[in-house]
Structures are given as C-alpha cells and as structure tokens.
Amino acid sequence: MRFIRNLGIFIFFLSLGMGGDRIAVATKVIGSVHYIRGKGESTILKKGHIFESGDILKTDKDSFAALIFIDDKSALKVKENTEIIISGKRSAKAIAKEINLDGGIIRAQVNKQQRGDFIIRTSVSVASVKGTDFWLISDKNTGDSIIGIEGVVMLMNQKSGETLNITSGITGFSTQDGTIQSFKTDPKTIPNDPTAGEGDDKILEIEFKDASGKRKTLIIKYN
Amino acid sequence: MKYRQWLPRNGISIIPFLFLIQIGFSQSQIIHHTPPAHGIIGQDLILYSASLETTNPIDARLYYRLPGGESYQEINFYKTGFNWEVMIPGFALTELGLEYVVAFQFQNGRIASFPMEDPFNRPHLLSTIPPENPVDIGVFGALPNAEVLILSPEPDAIVDQNSVLVAASFFNATNVDESTVRLLIDEVDVSAKMMLEDGILSYDPGKLETGNHTIQIQMKDLDQQDLSPVHWSFTFGTIQKNITKIIDFGGSANSRISSETVSGTPLNIAEITGKLSLNAQWAKLTTDIRLTSRESQYLQPQNRLGTRFSFGSILDLDIGDFYPRFNPFIIDGKRVRGLGVDTDLKWVRLQFIQGDLNRKVHEQNYINGGYQILSDLTETKEDGSKTYYLDRTGFAFKRKISGLKLSVDLFSKFRAGVHFIKIRDDTTSVNRALNNAEFSSDSLVLGVTPGTYTIDSFRDALSAAGHSLEAPTSKWKGQKPLDNLVFGFNLGTSFDQKKMTLDFNWNMSLFNRDIWNGAMSRADLDTALDDSLDGWIGVQYDENGKEIKGSTKIDTALIIINPIKFQDIFIINTNMSPLVPIDINAMKSHPISSIINMPSSAFNIRLRGHYASNSFLLEYRQVGPEYVSLANPFLRNNARQFTISDRVSLMNRSLFLNFGFKHLDNKILRTTINPLNTNTFFMNMTFLPGPGMPSIIINYQSIGKNNEKTKLDSVGSTIVDFREDSKAASNMMAITVPFTSGDVKQNLTLNFGNVTNLDNLIKKRSSGYLFPKTDSKTISVNLSSSFPNQLKTITQFSQTKLEIPTMNGNSLVKTPYTWTNISVSANYRLLQDKVLAKGSVSLLNSRGRIKSQLLGFRAGADYRINENISAALMSQIRLNYIPSYKKDNLDNDSDGKVDNASEVIDVNSTGIIFTLQYNF
C-alpha cells in the first residue's frame, strides 16, 4: 500500500517536472494539422487541444489552425505549410509568449501584454509587439515580410541588428542579407483569414420556432 | 418575469371601512398599504396601495433603496381602478433586501405615507428570497465577479461548425474553486463532458442546430460563495463576410387607456410609453418616452423623454430626462431634464450635468391657486383706508442645476474624487402677474362683497370701497427662491483581494433660503449682524461707543470671497446658512471636532467585508442640521447614525441570517438638549432548503426611542408630557409549503405578523396621557394551485386587527377594528396560449364602529395577437354594503329618501383598462 502511495507521489512530481506550462487552446482546425510534444510523435491536432509550452504545431497543405492564449486572449492563426514552436512562461498574472516560426504564414492578433512583449522569432528576424494585429510571412530562402493590420510591430533583422516599426497599411521586409525596409501594403498581398470568412454566395440560415412548434427559416445570402 | 404579490391586492377593499375610522388615526392613515411577505431577488415586484381620500393625490410615489442607503430612488404609482400600483424593478431586489416608503401627496399639502411614522428614516424593510432558478442576478446587488476570460466563441459571434468550441480561461480567476464549475449550453448542464484542466475550460458541443445558442458558466469561490455566472450567446451559422457595419434596432411601444369612476368621480387616463434602441456596435442610441394625459401645465412634468447616446464604454451622453448619480448625499437618481455627459476611461471618470430639476409652473388651476390675500399684512393708513396685500401662490420657479464630478480609480485599489453641484431657482421664470387667476375674498376685506375675483376686478372693488391693493411683482411673501451649492470629495480603497472596502465621503453645502434681494456687498455684510459699519461683523458697542466683549467678531478683510464677484456661483446674503460654516468659538478649543461637526457638512465612513459566508457592514454617517442638497430632498439632516450588521449564508446558501444594530440620534450640535435616540435591533432568518421544499421567513425588529427627557414641560399654563421612552416590537413569520395533490401543484402560505408598542414610562404618566401608538395583528393564509389544464387559482383568507388608542374623557380606550377578507382569483389559458382569461371575486367584512361589506369583481383577458403585439383588457366593479344605513334616519345617498333600500348598497367604483403592447 505504501509502495503504491509513494509511486503515486513520485509520478505526480515527475509529471510536474516534465510537463510544460499550459498556455493556449486550439479553437479552430481545418485540414491536416499536427502537433508534437517533447520527444513524442506527431499527433493530429483537434479542436480544444491545450498547448503546453514547447509544443510544435505543423500545418499541411490546405490546412489551417487557430489558437488563443489563455491569459489575455491573444490569438495566433496559422496558415498552411507552416511550422511553429509555441513557448510561454506562466507567472501569476500573465504569460510571456514567444513563437518560433520555422517558415510559413501566421497572423498574430496580440492583445495588450501584461508581461514583456509578444515575440515572434524567425531565422532572420524578430518581431516584438505589445498589442497589435499583423501577418508574418516567413520564407527560409528570401526572408520575412510583416504586413501591419493594426498597431505597431517592431521588426528587427537578426543579422544586421537594424529595426523598423511597422504600422497599419505598411509592409516590412527583412532579408537574409540583413536588409530591412518597408513599403505601402498592396492589399492583394494580404493573406486570406479563414476565420474572417471567405468565398462567394454564403448562406446564413436561422431557424425560428414559435410557441405552437411551427418552424420557419430565415435565409440570408451574401457575398 | 413579474412576481405579482396578490396578498395586498385585496387590501384595497378596506378603504371605505378605513375611511370611517380614520378619525382615530393620524393623518397618514389616509392611505392603506399591506406590505408583501417578501420579494424575490432579481424579479420585478408589484406593490399595491390605496388612497382613502375622496380626491386623487397629485403625486403618488414609491421611494426605495438598499437597506441603510442614504438616498432613495423614486417611481410613480399608477392608478388601476381602486388601487394604485407600482412595479419595483427586479434589479433593485437583492440579497440585502429593500427598504421602501409609500408617499401620497394631496392638493391641500398633506402627505400620507407608509410607514406612518418617520417614514424616510424608518422605511419598511422588505426581505428577499432567491428565485427558484437563480440565473440572473441584478446589477444593483450583483454577486462578486470572477475574472473568467471567454476564449471561444466570441459573444454574439456567428460561427461555423469548425469553430464551435466552447472555451474559457480561469487564468486570472484565482478565487474560483474549479470543482464547482458547471457549464450549461442552452440551459442544459454539460459539465460532465467538459474539460477543465489547469484553469482552461473547453468543450466541443459537436453538431448544433442553426440559430442562437447560449452558454453559461456557474461557479463558486474558495469559500463556497456563489460567484456571478458568466453567460454569453452565439449564433451557429456561416461566418459572414464584408459586413462591417451592422445596425440593430429594437424597442417597444405601449398604450394604456383607462376609464374609471371612484365614488362618483370619473377618472380617465391615456398613456403611451415607448423605447427605441439603435445599436451600431461602436455606438448605441436609446430613447425612452412617456406621454400621458396627466401632463398639465399646473404640475411638474409627467411626460418623460430621454435619449442616451453611448459611445462604447467610454462616453454616455444624455439629453432630455435622465437620472444622474454623484453620491448619496448630493444627487442620487433625481430626475434632471437637460444634458448629461459621463466620460469613463476606467481610471479616470468625468461626469457633467446641466439642466432643470423643476420646470416653471405659473399657477394652480383652482381658486387661490395663483393669488391669495394675506390678511395679516393688511395695513391701515392714517385716513382709515386700508392697503390689502395680495401674494402670489401656486407657482414653482424653474430650478436650474449644474454639476461636475471628477473621479479616479487607480489599479482597482484606490478611489478618489471631487464634486460640486449648483442649484438655483430662476426668479425670472414665473409670470409676475396673472390676469385671469381667481382668488377668494371674504368678509375681512371691508366694503368688498365676499366672492371670487381676478386681480383687476379686485383692485376695482377695493378702489370703489376707498382702499388700495399691494400686489408686488417680485419678492413675494410666500414661497421664496432658493440657492444651493454643494461640494465635497470621496476617498476609498479595497484590500485583501477586494474582500474588504473602505470608503469615505465628505460634503458641505451652502444654502440660501431667499435670494430675492441678491448678493450682499462686504459693507452690507459688515452691518448684517450689527449696525456699525466698522470693518467688523458681529461687533456691538455700548452707549459710550466701547466694544462689548464676548460678541462674535469677524474682520471683513478676512472674507476672502467678495460676495458680489461670487454671486454667479452662490448668492451670499443674510438668508444663507450657514453664515459662518465653522463654529469659530469652538474652533479654538476643539479644532478637529469643529471641522467634523460643521453643521452644514454630511459625511460617512463605511467598511464592508465579505469573508467566509459573511457580508458585514460597519458604518458611521452624519448629516449636519444645516446641510441641504436640493437635488436630494429626502436626506434627513441633523442625524448621525452608527450601523453594524452582518448577513450570513449557511448550509450551502439555504439558510440566511441577517442581523444588526443601528443607533440614530441628533446630538451633532453641543447645544442640542433632549436629543432623540433611536436604537434598532433587527434580525431576519430565511430558510430555503430547495425547490419543492417548505420555506420559512422570520423577521424581528425592536425599535427603542428615548428623548432623555425626565421632566414635564409646560406650554402656557398647561403641563404637557413630551417624554419619550418607548419600544416597538414587530414580528413576522411566513411559511410556504409546496405540495402536490393528484395532478395539481399547490403552494400554501401562512403569514403571521404583529406590532406591539410599549410605553416604558407608563407608570410615571398621568392618567390622562395618550400613548398614541397602534398595536396590530395580521394573519393570512393563501393557496395557489396550478391545474394541468392551464388553470391557475389563488384563494386567500386574511384578517387584520387593530387596537387604536383614543381618549374617552380622561381614560385611555383601545378601540378594536377588524377586517376579514376572502378572495378567489383565477387565470386560464386558452386558444393555444394566445388568450389568458383572468377573473377574481373578493369579499371584505369590516367590523368597527360601523359594519360594512365590500364585494368586488374583476374580469379581463390578455390576448397575444402575434409575436409582437399583445393586448389586455381588464374591468372591475366594487359594491359597498353598509347595513346600518338602513336604520340611521339619514339620507345617505342624497336621493331625497331616508333609509330606503338603495342606501344600503351602492356602486363604490367601476373601471375598465385597455392596454396594447407592440415589440419590435
């Protein structure tokens, strides 16, 4: 009996020591998306999955995932063919977040940070924000581009150490050779966000039921 | 959902009976109101009251507040045939209970109230019980919030199947006991299927029906106290695109027409109320309107029209009628017509108001409603002729108000603010002369035939008799224009994770009772208290010109404010109070006490705590004898009060105990002799074991009064006994037992109550002393039944006994009065619930000096025409039967016949009410 109890205590503390901080929740998954925890195998990601610090998330072709951080509701939207490492350090009041983007496209909707900045790191650049909305497109061959949607993002090229503030309507480029520059955003270059809706001839159906049980459906068609 | 208290409804039947016995009552006995046994938290409560006056009150209002609050909210009563009704909004009914006062004001200036004695300081305490399904707790007394973060779906969002995930974070909700968290989707408990790990709640509901869905998270804190549930809704459909601006609108319109006859007096009222709301996500426009046929140029406005424009949570802009609140001592919900701005940036908030508290009223529409002869001011000239004084009456000045409050809230821990408010009557707003106003002249006006005159015809009549008339166009002797300036500050803090709050609120007022003469100059002030223009206020000299020592001495040079320059803010003259805010003489010896006890200050210091199922309050409040805020007319001045109370919830919130002690006196000034001390101990127990189980409510209150008088007084040559040392004990117990017989669900409620008054000086009183307090006993039984065939009935029996003290010669007599009421009412749904038929019959038997019976019938129906439109019709008739009229040798019905059969029974009242409601 004592053995079982001690074993239980051991397993409990072991799990505490091994497990990362739980920091985010997957709220939407489209297509083939996987995650890897520690040295484990790649596992299919499902809606409601709780990410721990250090989890790796991978999206395949035509897939998409959205996750939300539990302390301030900052959101990360991950487009197809993207791989990120999600890291966070929990404290009593906030989570210090860092995303390592190993190629691909993500959208970060960052709410005001209580503790430090929200950092997104690629092999070429570091984007540091306190509260903003932007796209980050990372290409291992050419470099990174950041499309500012709202607020200000500080983009730093890791090679040259140069920094640039990216604001709404501006796209910043950070290249392998250390160059960093900005241009007015071409709307066509803004990636599509599946959570904001897409496609044509969308139909919204709302069903009503009156006191006698009779049902009627309101159909709204829009583009 | 409205919770209709049927118990007092039948109290209206006693009116003729009470009318007969009101001679034995005090003035306030002219209204009758039986308070309900309890209210239900968060649910609207309708109260009923009845006027025993033959004329309708010009103002019938209910004043309510949280127990121990400094000021009241007001709601107007509505006439519904024989009764007056008012609905207390559900958000005002909290766990703490509710205190209320019923006040009817009549044309002759009389005010009748419930409770009868000192109503605004000793309002009726109504206890409350939780609803059977406690899902919506009002903001007035909301449960503590937990900082639960909604992760998914977004409130009011339209989501598709891939996004339907319910998720919430308890990351910041450190006080939540996760084992108590429950998740309800569309009111179905799915807690067993949800995941809750490490402060993250998630649940995948799977395939949902298209349409709206609701989510609710219920939880308790670590002390097992309920926390405010988190609820939001979303729509399952397909995500919309490119719709960036959505404007929602909604509202309602109600029309109400009533035609009634009460004691032969017809009363017809039409009223339209409406509400319109436009919501453009980032902004919201809300308009409330009430148009009533009671609107009259002779009254303060009865119509209401107010619009609020809200810009997010940052800005609220009010135009028209609105109800600002600065603090309980200054303005706390009093109606203002004008402009209000409330800018709230969370850490700093600015409130500004400007408008009218009262509108101008030139006269009343009755004789002497515009002019009145003041016989006391009649002057006789040397030649024997007289000058008669005609004063203006029946008017009200436009009362302008403007105010500002700036407050900060730092880190949700420290609160501070400053505020001021300025109120002034506009003396130019009222017509100076009324050509058509009629007033009466009696035989005291010599040489003029008694009768009714206008100002011109009266002046002519006086002139013909050799007299003259003084009818000033300003500075009238009766009502005076007022001026009021109030300012102050507040400080507050929260500690121990907001479990305890400490607040301090200090205010000071300047009040001028008569501003007809405007502001005084420094020189005028110099001679205001003495006749010498010597640079000193209050210095008096003897006949040799030497200063008399010991008099108040204020150097005019020390008056920082020049009254003339200050007059736009406040008019300083000899009619203001206080003339000197601080007692200068006492200031030297007791500086701190002098500042605290400034006669024109009002303050409170309050400590509140929530620990281990206890909610306690410790408060000291003081309102100086000269403190006045015209925007808060119900604040009692010259009062200081200490309160300690605690509310405990036990047995998983099934048993509530509320007990406390209050001491109230008027010993603020050192000069007060024979202060009146009131000590109140109260205790309430509410036991609600759960749905389908019997519940018990017990209230006990003991009020001791003592004015520290030990000797008798004399008025002229008469010895009078003003000593007060009494104790009033009131008890109430209500037991509700739900049970089922066959398919019929029933609720049986028993209610017992009594009020006993004890004179502690009874052995020291003379035999002719009248101890004027009335003892009463009440018992009621009611049975509500729900039948499976859509029929609901309520059967009630009640009996109330009063013992009214009167003097019979030199001996005290307690005259018993008893009224017994039996009533049955029924509701029946038919036509697929489209129609709700209603009916009731009641019989009241009263026994006192005169016996009588009242038989009442009510019948009507509600008809739901479609989803948006509904109509209701209600009719009523009440018959009065007084058998003694048959043999009293009087023509009681004035038909020329004595003691005929028609005298015994007559139609007391009839009425029909039609309402139409449209929601859009």
Whole-number Å distance between alpha carbons of B734 and B750: 6
Mean of pLDDT values over A122-138: 85
pLDDT (0 to 100) of residue A220? 61
Q: Which residues of B touch A208 (CB under 8 A)?
A: 211
Cβ-nearest to B204 among A47, A93, A211: A47
Out of A22-36, A131-145, B240-254, B847-861, least confident range:
B240-254
Which residues face B167 on adjacent strands?
B152, B202
Query: Within 13 Å of residue B533, how many CA atoms lie on the same side as its CB?
Result: 4
Task: Find, among B888, B714, B879, the residue nearest to B82 by Cα.
Answer: B879
> B230: which residues sit within 8 A by CB, 6+ positions away?
B146, B148, B150, B168, B216, B217
Contact between B237 and A205 using a beta-carbon 8 Å cutoff? yes
Question: What local confidence, expressed as pLDDT, does residue B58 receive?
Answer: 66
> Under an 8 A CB cutoff, do B238 and A203 touch?
yes
- Structural tokens at position A36: 């890897």
Q: Are the beta carbons of A223 and B163 separated by less than 8 Å? A: no
Write phi, then psi, for B525 (nearest 5 degrees). -65, -35
- Cα B695 from chain centroid? 29
Question: What is the amino acid identity at position A131?
Answer: G
Q: Do A25 and B151 touch (CB under 8 A)?
A: yes
Q: Is the pLDDT of residue B198 over 50?
A: yes
A73 to chain B: nearest residue by CA? B151
* Domain B2-129 fold: Immunoglobulin-like (2.60.40)
Q: Which residue has the higher pLDDT, B281 or B190?
A: B190
Closest CA to B612 of B222, B137, B97, B143: B222
Question: Among all residues of chain A, which has the CA nearest to that of B238?
Answer: A204
Question: Do B149 and A73 lie within an 8 Å CB cutoff?
Answer: yes
Cβ density class B358-370: b for 16+ within 10 Å, e for less: bebbbbbeeebbb
pLDDT tens-digit readout, B491-508 = 999 888 777 899 999 999
Determine the Cα–Cα distance for residues B701 and B720; give it in Å rounded to an integer. Answer: 30
Arithmetic mean of pLDDT, A210-223: 60
Q: Is the pTM of this model over 0.80?
A: no
Spatial neighbors of B29 by CB under 8 A, at least 6 apart, are B18, B22, B52, B112, B116
- CA B162 to chain A, closest CA, distance in angstroms equals 6
Confidence check: pLDDT of B42 > 80: no
Residues whose CB falls within 8 Å of the CB of residue A5, separated by 6 or more in sequence, listed in order:
none
Quickly state the pLDDT bin for A8 (edges 50, 70, 90): very low
Above 70 in pLDDT, residue B656? yes
Q: What is the mean pLDDT of residues B738-766?
A: 88
Residues B539-564: what's their mean pLDDT? 72
Q: Which residues contact B701 (CB under 8 A, 6 or more apart)?
A: B125, B680, B681, B682, B683, B729, B730
Give the pLDDT band (50/70/90) at residue B424: very high
CA dist B167 and A73 (Å) reads 11
**Which two structure tokens, joined as six digits, stand for A185?**
């955003």
Subunit contact A48:B204, Cβ cutoff 8 A = yes
Closest to B641 (Cα-Cα) out of B671, B664, B614: B664
Look at residue A6 and give its three-state secondary structure: helix
Question: For residue B863, which of B874, B855, B852 has the smallest C-alpha distance?
Answer: B874
| Closest by CA position to B400, among listed B332, B337, B345 | B337
Residues of B in contact with A55 (CB under 8 A): none
Sequence letter at residue B26:
S
Supply the Cα-derived Rg of chain A in whole angstroms. 21
Residue B796, SS3 per DSSP:
strand
**B757: phi then psi, degrees, rounded to nearest 5:** -110, 135
The token duo for A67 is 């996750």
- Is the predicted pLDDT of residue B55 greater than 80, yes or no? no
pLDDT bracket for residue B906 (50, 70, 90):
confident
d(CA B290, CA B78) in angstroms, rounded, equals: 13
Task: Using pLDDT thresholds of 50, 70 and 90, give the confidence band for residue A215.
Answer: low
Reported as type and span, the H/E element at residue A13 is helix A2-18
- pLDDT at position B709: 84
Of A47, A70, A222, the CB nearest to B240: A222
Q: Could you tell me the residue ranges of all domains in chain A?
A: 22-197
CB contact under 8 A, A207 and B200: no
C-alpha–C-alpha distance, residues B746 and B787, integer Å: 9
Verify cis geometry, omega within 30 degrees of 0, for the bond prior to B578: yes
Residues of A in contact with B833 (CB under 8 A): 211
Tell me what the mean pLDDT of segment B214-222 comes to. 84
Per-residue pLDDT band at B10 (split at 50, 70, 90): very low
What is the spatial distance between Cα B433 and Cα B430, in angstroms, rounded to a whole number?
A: 9
Q: Whose structure tokens read 């009719």?
A: B875
Q: Quick check: B450 pLDDT over 80?
A: yes
List residues of chain B with CB under 8 Å from any CB of chain A: 149-152, 158, 162-163, 165, 167, 169, 171-172, 174, 195, 197-200, 202-204, 209-212, 235, 237-243, 832-833, 867
Is the pLDDT assigned to residue B674 strictly greater than 90? no
Evaluate if residue B243 carries a pLDDT over 50: no
**Per-residue pLDDT averaged across B448-474, rounded?**
90
Residue range(s) of every CATH 2.60.40.2840 domain in chain B: 2-129
| Model confidence pLDDT, tens digit, residues B720-741 | 888 889 999 989 898 989 888 8
Ramachandran region of residue B187, left (φ > 0), alpha (ψ -120 to 50) or beta? left
Least confident of A165-179, B112-126, B526-540, B793-807: B526-540
Domain with CATH 2.60.40.1220 in chain B: 143-236
Cβ–Cβ under 8 Å, residues B245 and B220:
no
- pLDDT category, B30, cuts 50, 70, 90? low
* CATH of the domain spanning B143-236, picked from 3.40.50.880, 2.130.10.10, 3.30.1330.10, 2.60.40.1220: 2.60.40.1220
Share of chain B above pLDDT 70, in %: 88
H helix intervals, B453-590:
455-464, 522-526, 563-566, 584-589
Contact A27 B158 (CB under 8 A): no
Q: What's the rounded Cα separation, in Å, for the pair B730 and B777?
A: 10
Q: Is the pLDDT of residue B135 over 60?
A: no
Does 2.60.120.1440 match the CATH number of domain A22-197? yes
User: Taking residues B317-345, what's their average pLDDT?
Assistant: 90
Q: Which of residues 4-33 of A touch B (CB under 8 A)?
A: 22, 25-30
**Which among A7-11, B189-193, B513-517 has the top mean pLDDT?**
B513-517
A156-159: list long-range contacts, CB under 8 Å, 24+ apart: A156/A125, A156/A126, A156/A127, A156/A128, A156/A180, A157/A124, A157/A125, A158/A123, A158/A124, A158/A125, A158/A126, A159/A124
Tell me if chain B has a CB within 8 Å of the CB of A52. no
The answer, yes or no, to whether residue B211 has pLDDT greater than 80, is no
User: In this model, does residue B446 exceed pLDDT 80?
Assistant: yes
Calculate the average pLDDT of chain A.
79
Distance from CA of A129 to the nearest CA of B (A): 21
Q: How many degrees, rounded to 5, is the angle at CA B489 between CA B483 and CA B492?
A: 150
CA distance B251 to B521: 56
- Contact B151/A207, CB-based, under 8 Å? no
pLDDT grade for B36, boundaries at 50, 70 and 90: confident
CA dihedral B271, B914, B868, B245 (to 10 degrees): 0
First to last CA, chain B: 19
Q: What is the mean pLDDT of residues A199-214?
A: 57
Query: Would the CB atoms of B163 and A28 count as touching at under 8 Å?
Result: yes
Chain mean pLDDT for chain B: 81
- Furthest CA-CA distance within chain A: 72
- List pLDDT tens digits, range B840-884: 998 988 887 777 888 889 899 999 888 789 999 989 888 888 777
Q: What is the average pLDDT across B60-79?
A: 78
pLDDT at B407 over 90: yes
Among A160-174, B11-25, B195-209, B573-587, whose mean pLDDT is lowest?
B11-25
Q: Say which residue, A17 or B889, is predicted with more confidence.
A: B889
Q: How many CB atoms lie within 10 A of CB A78?
A: 28
Highest mean pLDDT among B110-124, B248-262, B570-584: B248-262
pLDDT in tens, B350-369: 999 999 999 999 998 888 88
Closest CA to B455 of B543, B372, B531: B372
In the predicted model, what is the mean pLDDT of residues B58-78? 77
